[in-house]
Structure 1
Amino acid sequence: MKDNSGKILLALLAGASAGVVAGLLMAPDTGEATRTSVKKWANKLSTDLEKNLQTGLDEIKNMSSGVIDTLNKKASAVNGSVGDAVKSAADSVTGAGSTGSSTGSSSTGSSSTGSSTGAGSKPGGAV
């Protein structure tokens, strides 16, 4: 079966609009009175819509600032723990270089009794 919900909704809106127009044309008031009442109704609707929209926007701003604050706190916590892990890893690499073993493209800091594995090293220790 096809999904006709869009067509049904459109037909419903068209029918409601036609009913409003017919009601306005057959109103017992004069044209001027009808236009005045429609104008008041439209102004009130506009004012109410503007207030509701502004309230909604303020709510969204408050919610988004709360989410941003929460994300910043979590990011700081993650950065702090990552920073501690990086510092710990850096300390262990620095400590490994002083004991005589080094891995990487540079072999600085390795002792003559340690082993060195790097991009520039050749078998037998010749560089």
Structure 2
Amino acid sequence: MLNGLSRASQQVGLRMNMSKTKIMSNAHGPLQPVIVENTALEIVDEYVYLGHEIQLGRSNFEKEVNRRIQLGWTAFGKLRAIFSSKIPQCLKTKVFEQCVLPVMTYGSETWSLTMGLIRRLRVT
């Protein structure tokens, strides 16, 4: 099926990015190499898709929360010049709401959080 998708994509001028295409399998299916266009696709246990870490089986939201907190601090650090400038606080708040908060909270509606993780997010 993937070879068919690759051929159909090429007919309309698109190409599959083999370095970004990954294979995941659950415990019920045999794990075998998948080859598309003479390239063996990487087999992974987890990967980041649309900003959310995907993994089969029981989700580890603590790992995802830690990753998002780190991403939030990174985004915050990149805006250090704005936050330490003399612009009004209301504008700084808007920058934070539009640049840092989305990095930390995208897709978080579906997380099952413990009180400890909720506390960590609030502190951050």
TM-score (norm 1): 0.25
* Higher Rg of the two aligned structures: 1
Between Structure 1 and Structure 2, which shows a larger proportion of helix residues?
A: 1
Between Structure 1 and Structure 2, which shows a larger proportion of strand residues?
A: 2
TM-score (norm 2): 0.25
